[in-house]
């Protein structure tokens, strides 16, 4: 059996090469129209494959005092050019709409901090001054936005506007749920991406309430999320059903068993987790994120709990090369571009990037909530992040 990974990959290429002539013969025997349709399907698959691989993982944990810590990763196959962002109160925000239905405008009620993409003045992730936090996550194949003709008299916005609208207008999850009937999200093409981005949304508040918002069949479907975990496609209710496949998983060590009169003990710690999926697909990451967040032992509020969330986040880091599409080579190498941790009790927002894994902090206390301008800041340091040396005095013992 070929060894993993290089010999196995070479073996797969040899098998594919042997199968290729036979596939060509089969295709040539198909009717012309069917061949044309097959070409279109394969072309679409090549275009969409790198996009469908995009991975984001989010979860919350609780502190010893029942405070909420929210955390998530952001993966993409090319640089998002993200910046840190601060939106003060009383800012006029204009959403994106269509020619038939222009985007709505609103004046921000709550100051908000977070992350953007492509220099846009809207949030991919963030937290407001009331402790409402959340993000948008990629949702390919299933996102279905309201048709232009069905917009009616509701407030119109693009997929990338909803999170900013929610965080700058509402104090908690309940308020967002009540207001969702007033808006409509249209399938607007994002100019930097060149297509309509399929996304869904996770929101959490300081009380611990969580919801998922998904554009399904032309309307916004809202789920209460008792697990406070979200990844990517399929829809949230599918992930919830999939949990039934893993009910035996436990962080508790499996007990010894007597088989044929012999006592068989587990090999090492962690035997209760045998069978937990370890790949980077959304269903597998959902299971792992739920397992980590539920098993995490609550610690002190503030930075100790932030560090605990960071440790969990590290399990979902994707280095360059681990998730890629061979058809598109470098252009499709997905990686964790940034991760954030939000302390919903102390109103501090932490971030780290692929280039610099040192946590950096955005603190509402250091920002003017009534400032005149939306502020943007770079993520990447100007110099290589320093490595702290160990003490230079070491003594023999």
Catalytic site residues?
56
Q: Token pair for residue 247?
A: 């009910």
Q: Is the distance from CB of 289 to CB of 231 less than 8 angstroms?
A: yes
Q: Which residues contact residue 87 at a Cβ distance below 8 angstroms, ignoring those fewer than 6 apart?
A: 93, 108, 111, 112, 113, 121, 123, 164, 168, 374
Place of tokens 């005149």: 372
**What is the C-alpha to C-alpha distance for residues 335 and 357, in angstroms, rounded to an integer?**
14
- Beta strand extents in the chain (DSSP E only): 58-62, 68-76, 84-87, 92-94, 105-107, 112-115, 125-128, 133-138, 155-157, 183-185, 199-204, 210-216, 219-224, 257-259, 262-264, 335-343, 348-353, 360-363, 375-377
State the CB neighbour count (10 A cutoff) for residue 55: 23
**Residue 36: C-alpha distances to residues 28, 122, 161, 250 (Å):** 11, 41, 38, 50
């Amino acid at each position: 059996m070929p060894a993993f990974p290089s010999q196995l990959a070479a073996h797969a290429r040899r098998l594919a090469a042997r199968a290729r002539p036979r596939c060509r013969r089969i295709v040539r025997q198909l009717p012309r129209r069917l061949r044309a349709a097959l070409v279109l399907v394969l072309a679409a698959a090549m275009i969409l494959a790198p996009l469908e691989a995009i991975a984001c993982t989010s979860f919350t944990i609780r502190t010893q005092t029942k405070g909420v810590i929210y955390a998530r990763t952001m993966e993409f196959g090319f640089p998002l050019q993200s910046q840190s962002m601060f939106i003060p109160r009383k800012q006029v925000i204009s959403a994106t709409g269509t020619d038939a239905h222009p985007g709505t405008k609103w004046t921000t009620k709550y100051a908000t901090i977070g992350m953007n993409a492509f220099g846009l003045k809207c949030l991919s992730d963030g937290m407001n001054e009331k402790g409402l936090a959340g993000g948008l996550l990629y949702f390919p194949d299933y996102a279905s936005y309201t048709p232009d003709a069905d917009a009616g008299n509701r407030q119109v916005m693009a997929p990338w506007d909803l999170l900013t609208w929610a965080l700058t207008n509402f104090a908690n999850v309940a308020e967002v749920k009540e207001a969702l009937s007033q808006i409509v999200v249209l399938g607007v093409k994002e100019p930097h991406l060149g297509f309509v981005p399929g996304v869904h949304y996770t929101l959490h508040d300081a009380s611990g309430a969580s919801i998922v918002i998904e554009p399904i069949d032309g309307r916004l479907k809202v789920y209460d999320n008792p697990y406070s975990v979200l990844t990517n496609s399929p829809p949230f209710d599918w992930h919830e059903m999939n949990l039934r496949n893993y009910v035996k998983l436990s962080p508790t060590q499996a007990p010894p068993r007597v088989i044929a009169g012999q006592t068989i003990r587990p090999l090492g710690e962690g035997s209760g987790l045998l069978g937990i999926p370890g790949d980077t697909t959304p269903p597998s990451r959902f299971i792992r994120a739920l397992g980590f967040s539920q098993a995490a032992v609550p610690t002190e509020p503030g930075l100790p709990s932030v560090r605990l969330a960071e440790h969990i986040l590290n399990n979902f880091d994707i280095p360059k090369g681990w998730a890629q599409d061979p058809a598109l080579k470098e252009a499709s190498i997905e990686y964790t571009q940034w991760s954030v941790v939000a302390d919903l009790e102390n109103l501090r927002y932490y971030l780290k990037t692929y280039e610099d894994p040192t946590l950096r902090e955005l603190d509402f206390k250091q920002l003017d909530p009534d400032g005149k301008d939306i502020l943007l800041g770079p993520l990447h340091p100007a110099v290589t992040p320093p490595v702290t040396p160990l003490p230079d005095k070491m003594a023999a013992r």
